[in-house]
Chains A and B, each alone.
Chain A
Amino acid sequence: MTIKEQSAATRIDRSKKSIRKEGYAFEPLRPDARNEIPLKRARLSPKTELIAFEVNGVRRVLSVKEMVYHHVCQGELAGEPYLVTF
């Protein structure tokens, strides 16, 4: 089997899945403009780890420590929906 033929459907053992019936194990981050602040004003140490991403040339950063909890950040930027996973 070539790598191309190994889709997620054949690669993942579904017998091991564990799915919650309702709600989330980790609440996704669903930001709007109120969640955005200049990075230089944030009270973060220089070594704080970030996830940076761009949508249609517009860049944003997320704190890794916050994404360790949320796992997913879902929003809209520059007119495009996006989903960042961790």
Chain B
Amino acid sequence: MRDDESRGLWDHITGECFDGPLEGKRLPFWGVDMTTVEAELADHPDAILIQSDNRPWMMRMMSVVFSRSFINKKGTMLTRGFRNTMSKAIDSRLPEGENGLGVMDEDNNAKFYPISLIEKGGSITDEWQGRTLIIERGRIDGTPRARWADGKGRPMQLLTRWYGFSFTYPGCDIYE
């Protein structure tokens, strides 16, 4: 990702500038929730949608290309061109398309929780970075979300496939 002002390049997951005059700087980051309309309205009936007013042909085309649901699904569609952008082999500890919740902090400590190990509507508890973490899967959307058991907020988290998370956080821990 490039910013218009400095023309520097940024890692869109960790918020780090890795090329350009701001190299080494880092933006504060926080997680988003992947969900569905029905799940969002169940918990937030007055939810506000930000709607794009720019719907060119490319956007409609990509909407068709990516029309399959990716939440909770296994399997990847990594094209040869996409694979050629990878600087090394994918970490083989898990299948490359394994879907899960990645949890990380600003020191680049990270742990991957495969979604297949958490029952829909259920939860797991884990010790990470000296604190107790609770990961719950939504009963409607099936999406995992992490929160600290002490009630003090949520860690940075990302619903992601294994290949992407392991490239960003090489050698990360895996929940088993």
Once bound together, how far apart are the Cα atoms of A64 and B54, in whole Å?
Answer: 14
Which of under 10, 10 to 19, 20 to 34, or 35 or more describes the interface residues of A? 35 or more
B residues apposed to A, CB below 8 Å? 1-2, 9, 11-14, 16-19, 23-24, 27, 30, 32-38, 40-41, 44-54, 58-59, 62-63, 66-67, 69-71, 84-85, 87, 107-110, 167-172
Q: Which residue of B lies closest to A16 (CB)?
A: B85
Nearest CB of A to B176, in Å: 18
Partner of A4, one of B71, B85, B107: B107
Asked whether, in the complex, the Cβ of B109 is within 8 Å of the Cβ of A53, the reply is no
By Cβ-Cβ distance, the 6 closest A-B pairs, closest first, are A13-B87, A46-B38, A69-B59, A8-B18, A8-B11, A8-B16
Overall SS of chain B's interface = loop
Q: Which residue of A lies closest to B85 (CB)?
A: A16
Partner of A42, one of B16, B30, B49, B66: B49
> What are the residues of chain B within 8 A of A42 when measuring CB–CB?
37, 49, 51
